[in-house]
Structure 1
Amino acid sequence: MTQNKKLTLFALTWPIFIEVLLHMLMGNADTLMLSQYSDNAVAAVGVSNQILSVVIVMFGFVATGAAILVAQNLGAEKNQEAGSISVTSLSVNLWFSILLSFGLFLFSEQILNIMDLPASLMGEAVAYMNIVGGLIFVQAMLMTIGAILRSYGHTKDTMYVTIGMNVLNVIGNYFVIFGPFGIPVFGVQGVGNVTAISRALGFIVLFVLLIRRASGNLPWRAFYHYEKAHIKHLLNIGIPSAGEQLSYNASQMAITYFVAQLGATAITTKVYAQNLMMFIFLCSIAIGQGTQILIGHHIGAKETEKAYHQCIRSLKLAIVISLSVAVVFYFSSDMLFGLFTDDPAILTTGGILLLMTILLEPGRAFNLVVINSLRAAGDVRFPVIIGILSMWGIQVTIAWIFGLHFTYGLLGIWLGFIVDEWLRGLLMLQRWKSRIWTHKSFIKDKEKPHSQPNTS
Structure 2
Amino acid sequence: MHLPERPRLNAVAGPIFGEFLLGYTVVIAGLWLASHTSDGAAGSLGLANQVLESLYVVFRVLAIGMGVVITQLLGGQQVELVRRTALSGLGACTWAGLFVVSILVLGNDLILDVLNAPDEILPLASPYLQLLAPAALLDGYNLTMAAILRAHLHARDSLKVMVVMHSTHLALAVPLMLGVGPWDGLGLYGFAVALLVSRALGLALHLVLWRKRMDLVPTARHWWVLQPRVLAPVLRIGVPGASAELGYRAAFMVSLAGAARLGVVALATHAYTLQLLRYVLLVSLAIGWACEIMVGRLVGGGQFSQARALVRKGVRNGLMASGGLALAAALAAPWLMRVFTKDPHVIQAAQTLLWIAVALETGRVFNLIVTGALRATGDVIYPVAASIGSFVLVLGLGSYVLGRSLGLPGIFIAYAADEWVRGLLMMARWHWHGWLPHARSSQRRVRKR
Q: Would you call these one fold, judging by a TM-score over 0.5?
A: yes
Q: In the alignment, what sits opposite 2:380?
A: 380
Q: Secondary structure at the match of 1:448?
A: helix
- Is the radius of gyration larger for structure 1 or structure 2? 1
Quote how far apart the aligned CAs of 1:22 are.
1.5
Q: Report how many residues are paired.
A: 448
Is residue 237–residue 378 contact of structure 1 (8 Å, CA) maintained in 2? yes
What is the identity, as a one-letter code, of the residue corresponding to 1:448?
A: R
Q: In the alignment, what sits opposite 1:327?
A: 327
Structure 1 pair 98/324, CA: closer, same or farther in 2 (3 Å)? Answer: same
Q: Secondary structure at the match of 2:411?
A: helix
CA distance in 2, matches of 1:131, 1:400: 31
The structure, 1 or 2, with the larger RCO (C-alpha pairs under 8 Å, 6+ apart) is 2
Quote how far apart the aligned CAs of 1:370 are.
0.4
Is residue 90–residue 223 contact of structure 2 (8 Å, CA) maintained in 1? yes
Q: Does 1:284 align with 2:294?
A: no
What is the identity, as a one-letter code, of the residue corresponding to 1:423?
A: V
CA distance in 2, matches of 1:353, 1:41: 22
Provide the alpha-carbon RMSD of the alignment. Answer: 3.7
Identity percentage of aligned residues: 28
Q: In the alignment, what sits opposite 2:174?
A: 174
Structure 1 pair 67/259, CA: closer, same or farther in 2 (3 Å)? Answer: same
**Cα deviation code 1:369-423 (max 9, x no counterpart):** 100100111111111122221122223344445554xx44444433323322222
Structure 2 regions of 5+ residues with no counterpart?
A: none
What is the identity, as a one-letter code, of the residue corresponding to 1:429?
A: M
Structure 1 regions of 5+ residues with no counterpart?
A: 450-456
CA distance in 2, matches of 1:117, 1:408: 20
CA distance in 1, matches of 2:183, 2:248: 43
CA distance in 1, matches of 2:118, 2:245: 29
Is residue 108–residue 126 contact of structure 2 (8 Å, CA) maintained in 1? yes
**Cα deviation code 1:412-443 (max 9, x no counterpart):** 43332332222211111111123232222474
What is the identity, as a one-letter code, of the residue corresponding to 1:428?
A: M
Q: Does 1:234 align with 2:230?
A: no
Deviates more, 1:424-433 or 1:108-117: 108-117
Q: In the alignment, what sits opposite 1:437?
A: 435
CA distance in 2, matches of 1:42, 1:285: 25
Q: Secondary structure at the match of 2:302?
A: coil
Deviates more, 1:262-271 or 1:235-244: 262-271
Q: Secondary structure at the match of 1:379?
A: coil
Q: In the alignment, what sits opposite 2:371?
A: 371
Is residue 402–residue 413 contact of structure 1 (8 Å, CA) maintained in 2? yes
CA distance in 1, matches of 2:388, 2:11: 33
What is the identity, as a one-letter code, of the residue corresponding to 2:415?
A: F
Quote how far apart the aligned CAs of 1:287 are.
0.7
**Cα deviation code 1:64-91 (max 9, x no counterpart):** 1101111111111112211211111222
CA distance in 1, matches of 2:110, 2:416: 38
Is residue 175–residue 183 contact of structure 1 (8 Å, CA) maintained in 2? no
Is residue 76–residue 443 contact of structure 1 (8 Å, CA) maintained in 2? no
Deviates more, 1:107-116 or 1:256-265: 107-116
Deviates more, 1:43-52 or 1:232-241: 43-52
CA distance in 1, matches of 2:355, 2:116: 37
Quote how far apart the aligned CAs of 1:300 are.
0.6
Q: Does 1:94 align with 2:122?
A: no
Structure 1 pair 138/304, CA: closer, same or farther in 2 (3 Å)? Answer: same
Q: In the alignment, what sits opposite 1:212?
A: 212
Q: Does 1:420 align with 2:418?
A: yes
Alignment of 1:245-324 (within 5 A): 245-259=245-259, 267-324=267-324
Is residue 104–residue 134 contact of structure 1 (8 Å, CA) maintained in 2? no
Q: In the alignment, what sits opposite 1:453?
A: none
**Cα deviation code 1:122-144 (max 9, x no counterpart):** 88767655553135321111011
Deviates more, 1:140-149 or 1:15-24: 15-24
Q: Secondary structure at the match of 1:139?
A: helix
